[in-house]
Chain A
Amino acid sequence: MGGAEGVKLLDEEGRRLDGRALNELRKCRIEAGVLKNANGSAYIELGRNKILVAVYGPREVHPRHEALPDRMLLRCKYSMLPFSVPDRKNPAPSRREVELSKVIREALEPAIFLEEYPRTTVDVYIEVIEADGSTRVASITAASVALADAGIPMRDLVAGVSVGKIEGKLAIDINGIEDQYGEGDMPIAMMPRLGEITLIQADGRFTRDEVVQALQMAREAIAKLYEEQKRALKEKYSRILEEVEGGEVVR
């Protein structure tokens, strides 16, 4: 781990391999409403990560016995496309993808008024087109925009960031190399307006104080992602408005 394997993740000035400061996010761009067939969709680029999310529903549950009498059934599938990583990934769901689909679903559920739509389902399909670290949290950031784009009533959006530990220091939004050679990874997702944590995981080693500090760093980074989420949603509607005012028929 870490310096032991001879990969230097911080230079003398404390800059990371891609030139970022420890508390600096990679460039992030989100677009809402990018697919025709889905009820809602979003695309996110976070550094070299490229992720598409489609939302279908609320719709009837198939198979029917899975329907819940008191709330909506949220289903979530996170997958990495075979060419999204350096060595081809087998398209069959891996155990990692099975677990991430579960924790991503549980990160989104607190934000949705599930009880307003009993006996229905909403399906969230996440396809990682290109991966470079922190894909689960980037997926959550995009998925909540796609849910909002689908018009699903929500308490708040959900945005996520990972806090890594590289050469003994906490770093926000770690990329693939930092994940591979760093000393730890703590993905965190929050409802930014409500300040509630909907996902937290960690591997590596963190002291108590580092956990406290990571939560604070995540909160600051998530506030920035929240602005980009809102910008993406507003842009979609201003696009529609322009089309309407331009005299085009909008269906």
Chain B
Amino acid sequence: MSERVHTVVPAPRREAILSMLKRGERVDGRRADEYREVRVETGVVGNAEGSARVSIGHTKVIAGVKASPGSPFPDAPDKGIQIVYAELIPMASPIFEPGPPDENDVELARVVDRGLRSSSTVKLEELALVPGKHVWRIYIDIYPIDHDGNLIDASGLAAVAALLTSKIPKVSVSSNGSLVMEEERVPLPIGDAPVFVTIAKIGDTLVVDPCYEEELVMDARITFAIDREGNVCAIQKGGRGSFSADEVVKALDLALALAPELRSKLPPFPQ
């Protein structure tokens, strides 16, 4: 309900960051449109159907996919179920507190969920086992383990990389209608896959992929999820500031320009 995490940047430091940006310099020496080094590693958890560890600079996120048969939702009896969960665990940053998920955890999970759904990353319509009775439930759990800013992009990348490399058991239905899990595993049915690009507004400057210190002084942020064809499949503005319409379009163009580079870090689509 309220902002739980208040962290204050000392005024002289804030002024230094702002005046550096006016000269086109960022705290870590990057250009405004420069992304940090991105690493994607998949298959990092043997017990998961799919998993990935992603780093963007010092930010690290681990995501895992688990699948289990379950009942469908009554309003979508012939579709599988996708559930995205994110938890900002205290390990990742002194600003995260233990306890039930707060609005930041929920926002992170829901933004990733929207990007995945809107681009049909998991083809849920192909995940019915016995329509109306049994469908696959696909759980995507996201855990930041080291927070140096831009958790949305890192979480999105980790979730997509984990899904692209997931394998679920082949299932047959026996004569009495019960499910039989086979030894053979098959890839998840994948439609498209988004990459998430976040742009922060600090003073009058737009910078991509904000680090933690930049997030502390930013006015606002905007995230675009971009699919393979360059469509926007999710947008999320956050923060206490605002954007002009021109700034939104400029930020979108920055996101569109960076999307292919981020996409190249993803594992190949199955098959």
Binding site for B on A (CB under 8 A): 66, 68-70, 73-77, 95-96, 98-99, 101-103, 106, 109-110, 114, 121, 184, 186, 191, 194-208, 210-212, 215-216, 219
Contacts of B220 in A (CB 8 A): 106, 110
The verdict on A205 contacting B245 (CB below 8 Å), with A101-B103, A102-B103, A106-B238 known, is no
Q: How far is the CB of A187 from chain B (nearest CB, A)?
A: 9
Binding site for A on B (CB under 8 A): 1-3, 6, 8, 102-104, 106-107, 109-110, 114, 117-119, 220, 222, 227, 230-245, 248-249, 252-253, 256
CA distance A244 to B24 in the complex (A): 59
Q: Which 10 A-B pairs have the closest CB atoms?
A: A202-B235, A196-B242, A110-B242, A102-B103, A109-B240, A75-B2, A203-B114, A98-B106, A205-B231, A206-B232
Contacts of A208 in B (CB 8 A): 230, 232, 252-253, 256
CA distance A154 to B180 in the complex (A): 63
The verdict on A211 contacting B249 (CB below 8 Å), with A68-B6, A98-B103 known, is yes
Contacts of B3 in A (CB 8 A): 73
Q: Is the pair B243, A196 in contact by a Cβ cutoff of 8 Å?
A: yes
Contacts of A203 in B (CB 8 A): 114, 117-118, 233-234
Q: Is the pair A211, B232 in contact by a Cβ cutoff of 8 Å?
A: yes
Q: Is the pair B235, A201 in contact by a Cβ cutoff of 8 Å?
A: yes
Q: Is the pair A197, B103 in contact by a Cβ cutoff of 8 Å?
A: no
Q: Determine which residue in B3, B239, B256 has the highest number of CB atoms from chain A within 10 A of its CB, and name it.
A: B3
Contacts of A204 in B (CB 8 A): 118, 233
The verdict on A197 contacting B106 (CB below 8 Å), with A68-B6, A204-B118, A205-B227 known, is no
